[in-house]
Amino acid sequence: MKDSKINSFVSIKNQGQEVIKANNGFSDNQVALECIYCKKRYSSSKAINRCLDDGRTLDVVYDFPKIDPEEMKALWSLRRLSNKTEDRSGVWRFRDLMPFVKKPSKIISLNEGNTLFFRAKKAGDFVGLKNLYIKHQGMNPTGSFKDPGMSAAITQANNMNMKAVVCASTGNTSAAMAAYANRAEMLPVVIIPEGQIAYGKLSQALDYGALTIQIKGDFDLAMQIVIDIAPEIGIYVVNSINPFRIEGQKTIVPEILEQLDWNVPDRIVVPGGNLGHASSLAKGLRELKTFGFIKKLPRITIVQAAGSGPLYNMVTSEHPDFFEPVLHPKTLATAIKIGNPISHEKAIRGIKETDGWITKVTEQEIADAKAIVGQEGIGCEPASATSIAGLKKIMEQGTDRPVDPDETVVAILTGNILKDPDYTVLYHTDRLSDEYDLQTKIESKGKKIKSRFMNSPVLVGPDPQKIKKLILDRLQA
């Protein structure tokens, strides 16, 4: 590079650092917790996750200063040039949208966010959409979309000098919590349903030092136990009922918009389990619209597994205002095997605000979609594939708001393929059934799932001629 070019780059970089310093994003803004229903406000330093009057969930609300969208977009891009964790992290880069931290030393980060975003040709052809994009949140440091929210919740726990944090989990929350709490030198306490957690996730909680308590019962029971015992022993609950989790998770919205050069997609599709993800998308979109970054809202589309779809059942029932949990949720997509999602009210609010949609998909549909995502060369865990499966369903069956094949749609993949390798191997060896037992590894129970896009391994003796033939045959096929 010529000297003059190097000098001008250095000068731009230096000016950038000056701008970053001037807008450091750490402020003394008023922060409060607000009940989503009665709007009663509480101090943000209270370790509560529900309104003390009516038990409803809480939002974190701020007294925001005036935000200039163009200035802010430039600043967010510029921060990537910095080497400081708080500037590079895909959560804290957007800290102006979550000004609850007063100084950078409180931040607990593993450089989360800034995840892969790409146009998905094969998955697009599969569902019938020309402009399908995939946002892969499984590329986060612990391999799932939980990391951005967990960075925020553990930072808030750090703000409050917590010594321990607790969660119930279907696996990914516990992996993320264990990692972040470990970094913050807090004790992570994990309560999980025995035998229902994919090994990739369980191995993380163990390796990251969590006190891992397995119960004979399902996720919903584990969640109830967490809610009951946490206040009694003074530890902080960091499930997505924690409103600071939602704060971290909402930064996926500016990240997606940046990756689309601030062109607003028509639809964003997410799997639905405990429903924190959909709630956080709604909060991020709502705030960016209020500040004038965007004029329209993409439709939030939630996809649930058919055997575990209480929100779907609610909106399609004769009494759509009455929420009824599913008592014995069933799905091989263990991450979303949840019958009584804690954030259902926030998720419904998001669906209504964005004129969104909810659908449900079968085990076969999830397995097919997961194999297609694999063909994109990245792959995902089973629950993530519901995004693609749900889109296909909507395209084929229609809704009362038809989807145009020219729509721009972003499907979010929530977890890494390596989280649950058993499922993938059983599928490709044609042994997956809808009652596969994770713990006993008995695969012959239940209804067989067809391996429509199977790529099974080939067993041969150590015979070079046979191996050569196999390769040449495949090349010619």
Residues forming contacts to ligand F0G in the complex (CB under 6 A) are 144, 169-173, 240, 271-277, 335-336, 381, 383-384, 414-415
CA distance 177 to 110: 12
Closer to ligand F0G by CB, 157 or 275: give it.
275
Residues 133 and 404 sit within 8 Å (Cβ to Cβ): no
Closest contact distance (angstroms) between CB of 99 and ligand F0G is: 24
CA distance 298 to 409: 9
Task: Extract the tokens encoding 399.
Answer: 């809704």
Closer to ligand F0G by CB, 202 or 294: give it.
202
Closest contact distance (angstroms) between CB of 458 and ligand F0G is: 31
Residue 473, classified by CB atoms within 10 Å of its CB into exposed (0-12), middle (13-18) or buried (19+), is exposed
Closer to ligand F0G by CB, 159 or 172: give it.
172
Phi-psi region of 328 (alpha: psi -120 to 50; beta: other; left: phi over 0): beta
DSSP state, 446?
Answer: S
Closer to ligand F0G by CB, 209 or 292: give it.
209
Residues 312 and 327 sit within 8 Å (Cβ to Cβ): no
Pairing of strands 267-271, 299-305: parallel
Instruction: Count the Cβ atoms, other than its own, within 10 Å of residue 229.
Output: 14
Closest contact distance (angstroms) between CB of 341 and ligand F0G is: 7
CA distance 235 to 458: 51
Closer to ligand F0G by CB, 159 or 239: give it.
239
Closer to ligand F0G by CB, 159 or 359: give it.
359
CA distance 392 to 136: 18
Closest contact distance (angstroms) between CB of 178 and ligand F0G is: 11
Closest contact distance (angstroms) between CB of 308 and ligand F0G is: 10
Closer to ligand F0G by CB, 26 or 219: give it.
219
User: What is the DSSP secondary-structure string of 392-405?
Assistant: HHHHHH--SSPPPT
CA distance 319 to 184: 45
Closer to ligand F0G by CB, 49 or 240: give it.
240
Closest contact distance (angstroms) between CB of 147 and ligand F0G is: 11
* Nearest residue to 310 via CA among 344, 283, 333: 344
Closest contact distance (angstroms) between CB of 211 and ligand F0G is: 16
| Spatial CB neighbours of 464, under 8 Å, sequence gap ≥ 6 | none
CA distance 68 to 23: 12
Closer to ligand F0G by CB, 109 or 340: give it.
340
Closest contact distance (angstroms) between CB of 73 and ligand F0G is: 27
Closest contact distance (angstroms) between CB of 453 and ligand F0G is: 20
CA distance 106 to 135: 29
